[in-house]
Structure 1
Amino acid sequence: MYKIVEKTELSETISQHVIYAPLIAAKAKAGHFVILRSREGGERIPVTLVDWNPERGTVTLIIQAIGKSTTEMNALKQGDSFLDVAGPLGTPVEIKNWGTVLGVGGGVGIAELYPIARAYKEAGNKIVSILGARNKGLLILEKEMAELGEVIVTTDDGSAGRKGLVTDAMNDLYAAGRGPDAIFTIGPIPMMKFVALASLPHKTPTFASLNPVMLDGTGMCGGCRVEIGGKPKFACVDGPMFDAHQTNFDALLKRTAAYREQEKESLERYARDHQCRIGLH
């Protein structure tokens, strides 16, 4: 069991969990992820590490309640425990001095971008971040990212920062002669696809953290297969960070949508059952 020692609600659907997991905290690096289970029989959910403290023996995760399993996880309170926290998993990001690194994060992907941007800052890079969200309520870690360097905020509805897309802000940087030396993007698949397309004419090395369906997290099941440069790779062991210009985002979108109807039905059933239980008390 892995105890939640701190919990913070970042929005109506996004929660930050600080979990006691000393063995993971001792080995964690930027780009690593863990696989969670909240209970026996529960779904295995991959979540990228946001922060870790080897002295305290804790890891920090940020979870957005999208389906039944993530909704169950965010219902856990401080003092409750996750049944399983397996990791650290994946291949950590190679940290080196590019010069200027642009981080493009969308929604909860900003949480996954933060430790990577921090590691590049510590390696001597200049950090510029573009943070996108549907609205102000879904914008997270703006203060923390600002401590690393310049931050540009975009929202779909204009409720924070400029109204528009992250690629609008990217194109403005290029137009102003401020193109970066490398780009790291994490967020919704369509966003990462268009970030890659926007940087391609400028030949800027661009990397995307991919989020396919994942089960065991050790390369055995093949559920997280992605297509990179026309060849199959497994996000859990070869990634999750890949060359965005070589990534087949359309195939990734198709695979992640394979169980969408079942996921919707499961969440609706959970919501009905949960309301019934509340009514009985």
Structure 2
Amino acid sequence: MYKILEARELTTNIYLMEVEARRVAKRCQPGQFVIVRMDAEGERIPLTICDYNREKGTVTIVFQTVGAGTKKMGELKAGDSLHDFVGPLGCPSELVDEPVEELKEKSILFVAGGVGTAPVYPQVKWLQKRGVNADVIVGAKTKDLIILEEEMEAVAGNLYITTDDGSYGRSGMVTQTIKDLVEEGKHYDVCIAIGPMIMMKFVCKMTEELGIPTVVSLNPIMVDGTGMCGACRVTVGGEVKFACVDGPEFDGHKVDFDQAMKRQQLYQTMEGRALLKEQEGTTHHGGCGNCTDNN
């Protein structure tokens, strides 16, 4: 069992939990995720790591209540326990493997949308601890949906808040802020975008026009977290990939977002899953070992 040390609601239907999980905390890196189950019969919920403390042996997760499992999870309090807390899973951020001196020479931009702010935070914090400052754009529909503002302010080189309705910070979509910053004279060597699929799609369209290499995290399409369900199948540069075992981070300019979002909609129904299984044959599953042909 994994004890919950802190549990609080950040904003409507978005919760933060700090969980005692020493083995996970000891090995995790920014960009990775965990799989959580509340009890032996509970569903598996993949959640990107928001923060970790190796000394305390804790891992922090942030989640939004979108179904029965996460709704039940949102009712847990400090002192309660989770049945499973498995990780770290997935590949760490590419930034972790780059020499720090090379990172210091780069101008890095992060773009976070909604709950995507949570997986952006540990990457920015990791860079800041190594003397690398990064600009961060955090976007949400309204002021009330902005999360982790103080935490992000403490680690970002420059933090730009934007709301769709103009209720806080800059007005408009995150793409408009990217364009504005470049027009104001900012130059970026790389952009890391994490948020809803539709947001990442349009961020990539904008950064491609501006000539900024872009990495996206496809954690929003993960379901099982092991590749066995095939839910997070996506085409990247013409090749079939699975977000949970090959990612979750990919070259955003190579991701077929339209296909991924259409597939996401089909996967939500039994009829849709049956159709996908028929269309994709032996490549329908991901990292489960059932595949004999990845073309």
Fold shared per TM-score above 0.5:
yes
Q: Which moved more, 1:119-128 or 1:241-250?
A: 119-128
Give every structure 1 segment of 4 or more consecutive aligned residues whose post-TM-superposition deviation is greater than 6 Å.
none
The within-5 A match list for 1:188-203 is: 188-203=196-211
Residue 52 of structure 1 aligns to a residue in which SS? strand
Q: Which residue of 2 aligns with 1:112?
A: 119
What TM-score do the two structures reach when normalised by structure 1?
Answer: 0.88
1:42-90 deviations in whole A, cap 9, x for unaligned? 2211100011111111100011112221111111111111111111000
Unmatched 5+ stretches in structure 2: 271-295
Q: Which residue of 2 aligns with 1:7?
A: 7
1:188-211 deviations in whole A, cap 9, x for unaligned? 101000100001022211000002
Give the Å deviation of 1:126.
2.7
Give the Å deviation of 1:214.
2.5
What TM-score do the two structures reach when normalised by structure 2?
Answer: 0.84
Distance (Å, rounded) in 1 between the aligned partners of 2:222 and 2:134: 31
Distance (Å, rounded) in 2 between the aligned partners of 1:123 and 1:197: 31
Paired residue type of 1:214: V
Q: Which moved more, 1:251-260 or 1:157-166?
A: 251-260
1:246 equivalent to 2:233? Answer no
Distance (Å, rounded) in 2 between the aligned partners of 1:7 and 1:220: 30
1:110–1:186 CA contact under 8 A, matched in 2: yes
Q: Report the identity percentage.
A: 46
Name the count of aligned residue pairs. 261
Distance (Å, rounded) in 2 between the aligned partners of 1:135 and 1:231: 37
1:135 equivalent to 2:178? Answer no
Distance (Å, rounded) in 1 between the aligned partners of 2:67 and 2:153: 30
Distance (Å, rounded) in 1 between the aligned partners of 2:23 and 2:158: 34
Q: Which residue of 2 aligns with 1:74?
A: 74
Give the Å deviation of 1:175.
1.1
Distance (Å, rounded) in 1 between the aligned partners of 2:76 and 2:69: 11
1:212–1:226 CA contact under 8 A, matched in 2: no
Q: Which residue of 1 aligns with 2:281?
A: none
Give the Å deviation of 1:261.
6.6
Q: Which residue of 1 aligns with 2:275?
A: none
1:85 equivalent to 2:92? Answer no
Unmatched 5+ stretches in structure 1: 263-281
